[in-house]
Structure 1
Amino acid sequence: MLDNGRISSVQLVLVVTMAEIATVFLIVPAVTAGTAGPDGWMAVLLPATAYGLLVATVCVALARRFPAQVFTGYLPQVLGWLPGKLLAAAYTFFFAHVNSLILTQGTQFIHTAFLRDTPVLVLALVLAGAAAYGVYLDIEVIARQNELVFVVFVLSFVILVTLVAREVSIDNLKPVLENGLVPMVRGGMVPAAWRGEVFVILMLFPYLNQKEEALPSAIMVVVLVGLLAGTVTATTIGVFGAPLTSRLVFPVFNLAQYISVADILQRMEILLVIMWIGGVIVKLAVFYHTASIAAATTLGLKSYKPAIIPVAITSIVISEVFYGTYLQTVNLLTGFFPFYAYTFELLLPALVLLAAVLRHKGGTHHGGDI
């Protein structure tokens, strides 16, 4: 086996939820407010959730046909050796590329908001090193560490929303659907790309103890992320209004800065940063793990650990060389990335599932290494 770790259905829900929500908080409120206006929270909650549920259904249906193998491991079996290996290599790059984006968002946020004198490369090495260490230990360790991170994250989220709730103006959330459904649906296109990250279940399914719980767990992830992201988006728009929210670089960070209770509770953004750093390290670890497993299965390695360092280096190099300012990163995430993500999250898995059904692959024909 490539990884001997095992996770429960609850751990799956928590770790995939954290992998989705960690970066959603950074730019989604601004993006949806700019496109959908006061209906930004609905864009996060409705069309993006519908897309996430579709991705979850397709990916779980495919994973169930090959319960002992990760996605990149059975692609040659379904598509033929050469096409399968080529697609597995494409997914390996995709996972590493997503990792570089996560790393870029993380380092740019920390550098811009707090540590302006610290080189971005140093921040990238620290975040990548922490995540890579968790990957080296195995997926079970990542899931167990995330249990604590998730509790801290949710408690911090509840505290943040509770303390700022009195500043929310319902008028900022009106009128509802003033311009019809189209702007609201368009506003959901960018957050949908993050919501589709539930597709990593294709790479985590073999490690799940209760495989019959995979679909309910995936649905729970999509719904939970929708509620959290919808709540924080509605709160941000409710406090600042859609026009201002759309112009803020880090709207949730600004929301935390807004909190001041009787001159006693101040600098609450520190709480946000602490919870966010823990979450982003978990997210990095999940995608490092999937990229390393994908690389190992593509190359036919007996262990994923030799792939950890090359994947980390690749992600850091992409992050440092190909991304410039934070504005350029946001333009990529809101322009090209959603369609790029849709292809790997939904379109390709759906086509592989169709091929598996038509060619009678999977089902009782499973086995192999994970």
Structure 2
Amino acid sequence: MLETGKISALQMGMMMYPVLVSTAMLVGPSIMAQHAQNDLWLTPLWASLIGFFSVWIAIHLNKRFPGMSVIEHAREITGKVPAAVLGFLYLYFLLQVNGIIVREYADFIALFLQETPLGVISSALIFVCSLAVKGGIEVLGRTAQVFFPVFILPLLLMIGLVFPALDPGNLFPILDNGVLPSMKGAVTPLGWFTEVFLISYLLPFLSNRRQGTRSAFFVVAGAMLTMTIANLVTLFLMGDALGNILFPIMDTAKYVNVADFFENMESAVMAIWVIGAFVKVSMFYYATVLGTAQWLNLTTYQPLILPSGVLTVIFSFWGIPSFSMLGDVTTFAIPALLTLFFCFIPAGLLVWAIMRGKRSKTEEAESG
């Protein structure tokens, strides 16, 4: 068996929460404000609907084909040849997306380490993530569990410290142009919420699968609430200028000033992003090597860790010559691909399986 470890539903939730939230916290308010203006607090609500749908798809695929990831689902549903093609596309997609995430991380950290080459920053992250992936699903789960409070507490502290500076008047007028702008602002976050479909790689290794469903839905709800709060805080601070600020959460940290002593919490923002990026990259990394091993019918994914890491670093630079190009890719192309591969294609597989009455042999034996 490729993976013998087990994780709890709570650990799965702590692994998936940073996956959904980390990128959205960094650039989300700015992207959403460009379309929704002061109604951006509504955009996470619309975007989360596809997240709940992706969870529903993953859960029902797992019920029909227990113990399998989407790579193996496709083989059972479509046959060997179509599944081989679809599996290759999925693996290429995972590498591409993980490369983009690594590049986002490197460009942000470069604001603090301006003399350090992007390649060094990217390689350092991949090296640390490779150690976690090498340890297996249990190491990933425990690492996420340890880092979860460190990811949450600085954010809560920062919001509490800037609270006196918030101006709720920036929220008005509410829905001045109707509900459509807030829905347009949800286009990019749609892709972020579909990333919850990565649970399809984790569900086979849950110690209690019944609790996994509740945990996954809580993750989407928690991410929606977090994004809404982040949008409101940045809107109350920056008003109409929010859409023109690249990293609103970074500017929010600059507002912290307690008695001219406790101030400049930019390092806390960096800590949140480093932890979030580590968990997110590790999850995509693990899905890539596990999926590749399943696609090639290998007995272990360990030999794939190093080459996958090297390819991820290469993909983080391939076709992205500048930071402005990265912005276009992450705002338009990647969310569209995420929605396609983490929602529409799995939904198609589930519909096809239902229409053809496809189930795994284990499921057929249990239901029969």
Partner of 1:73: 72
Question: What residue identity is the alignment partner of 1:143?
Answer: G
Partner of 1:301: 298
| Mean CA deviation greater in 80-89 or 62-71 | 62-71
Separation in structure 2 between the aligned mates of residue 177 and residue 54 of structure 1, nearest angstrom: 26
Q: Is the 8 A contact 1:2 1:302 kept in 2?
A: yes
Q: How many residues align?
A: 364
Question: Equivalent residue of 2:7, what SS?
Answer: coil
Question: What residue identity is the alignment partner of 1:176?
Answer: I
Separation in structure 1 between the aligned mates of residue 362 and residue 85 of structure 2, nearest angstrom: 22
Separation in structure 2 between the aligned mates of residue 359 and residue 84 of structure 1, nearest angstrom: 16
Q: Deviations over 1:136-189 (max 9, x none)?
A: 000111110111211111111110111111111111111111111111111011
Q: Deviations over 1:328-361 (max 9, x none)?
A: 1111111222221111111100111111112222
- Do residues 153 (structure 1) and 154 (structure 2) align? no
Separation in structure 1 between the aligned mates of residue 140 and residue 266 of structure 2, nearest angstrom: 26
Partner of 1:91: 90
Question: What residue identity is the alignment partner of 1:332?
Answer: V
Of residues 273, 286, 289 in structure 2, which corresponds to 1:289? 286
Question: Is there any run of 5+ residues in structure 1 with no aligned partner, and where?
Answer: none
Separation in structure 2 between the aligned mates of residue 133 and residue 182 of structure 1, nearest angstrom: 45
Q: Is the 8 A contact 1:67 1:366 kept in 2?
A: yes
Q: Is the 8 A contact 1:64 1:363 kept in 2?
A: no
Of residues 331, 334, 337 in structure 2, which corresponds to 1:337? 334
Partner of 1:103: 102
Separation in structure 2 between the aligned mates of residue 348 and residue 366 of structure 1, nearest angstrom: 22
Question: What residue identity is the alignment partner of 2:22?
Answer: A
CA deviation after TM superposition for structure 1 residue 365, in Å: 3.9
Question: What residue identity is the alignment partner of 1:62?
Answer: L
Runs of 4+ in structure 1 deviating by more than 6 angstroms, as ranges, are none
CA deviation after TM superposition for structure 1 residue 364, in Å: 5.1
- Do residues 125 (structure 1) and 123 (structure 2) align? yes
Q: Is the 8 A contact 2:150 2:272 kept in 1?
A: yes
CA deviation after TM superposition for structure 1 residue 363, in Å: 5.5
Separation in structure 1 between the aligned mates of residue 14 and residue 280 of structure 2, nearest angstrom: 11
Question: What residue identity is the alignment partner of 1:232?
Answer: A
Separation in structure 2 between the aligned mates of residue 143 and residue 256 of structure 1, nearest angstrom: 29
- Once the two structures are superposed, the pairs formed by residues 159-308 of structure 1 within 5 Å of their partners are 159-241=157-239, 243-308=240-305
Question: Is there any run of 5+ residues in structure 2 with no aligned partner, and where?
Answer: none
| Mean CA deviation greater in 16-25 or 357-366 | 357-366
Separation in structure 1 between the aligned mates of residue 212 and residue 307 of structure 2, nearest angstrom: 31
Question: What residue identity is the alignment partner of 2:295?
Answer: T
Q: Deviations over 1:88-118 (max 9, x none)?
A: 111111111111011011000011x211110
CA deviation after TM superposition for structure 1 residue 252, in Å: 0.5
Separation in structure 1 between the aligned mates of residue 82 and residue 192 of structure 2, nearest angstrom: 27
Partner of 1:52: 51
Q: Is the 8 A contact 1:40 1:184 kept in 2?
A: yes
Separation in structure 2 between the aligned mates of residue 13 and residue 336 of structure 1, nearest angstrom: 27
Cα RMSD over matched residues? Answer: 1.3
Separation in structure 2 between the aligned mates of residue 120 and residue 148 of structure 1, nearest angstrom: 28
Question: What residue identity is the alignment partner of 2:339?
Answer: Y
Separation in structure 2 between the aligned mates of residue 168 and residue 244 of structure 1, nearest angstrom: 14
Separation in structure 1 between the aligned mates of residue 154 and residue 338 of structure 2, nearest angstrom: 29
Question: Equivalent residue of 1:320, what SS?
Answer: coil
Question: What residue identity is the alignment partner of 1:180?
Answer: G
Separation in structure 2 between the aligned mates of residue 235 and residue 123 of structure 1, nearest angstrom: 30
Question: Equivalent residue of 1:5, what SS?
Answer: coil
Separation in structure 2 between the aligned mates of residue 160 and residue 324 of structure 1, nearest angstrom: 34
Q: Deviations over 1:17-67 (max 9, x none)?
A: 1111121111110001111001112112x1011111111111211122111
Separation in structure 1 between the aligned mates of residue 362 and residue 340 of structure 2, nearest angstrom: 27
Q: Is the 8 A contact 2:26 2:273 kept in 1?
A: no
Separation in structure 2 between the aligned mates of residue 262 and residue 130 of structure 1, nearest angstrom: 38
Separation in structure 2 between the aligned mates of residue 287 and residue 184 of structure 1, nearest angstrom: 29
Question: Equivalent residue of 1:335, what SS?
Answer: helix
Q: Is the 8 A contact 1:8 1:210 kept in 2?
A: yes
Separation in structure 1 between the aligned mates of residue 308 and residue 155 of structure 2, nearest angstrom: 32
Question: Equivalent residue of 1:6, what SS?
Answer: coil
The alignment's TM-score, normalised by the length of structure 1, stands at 0.96
Partner of 1:82: 81
Question: What residue identity is the alignment partner of 1:278?
Answer: I
Separation in structure 2 between the aligned mates of residue 150 and residue 239 of structure 1, nearest angstrom: 26
Question: What residue identity is the alignment partner of 2:63?
Answer: R
Question: Equivalent residue of 1:24, what SS?
Answer: helix
Question: What residue identity is the alignment partner of 2:207?
Answer: N
Q: Deviations over 1:203-251 (max 9, x none)?
A: 111111111122211110100001111111110111001x311111111
Question: What residue identity is the alignment partner of 2:259?
Answer: A
Question: Equivalent residue of 1:177, what SS?
Answer: coil
Question: Equivalent residue of 1:236, what SS?
Answer: helix
Separation in structure 2 between the aligned mates of residue 363 and residue 125 of structure 1, nearest angstrom: 40
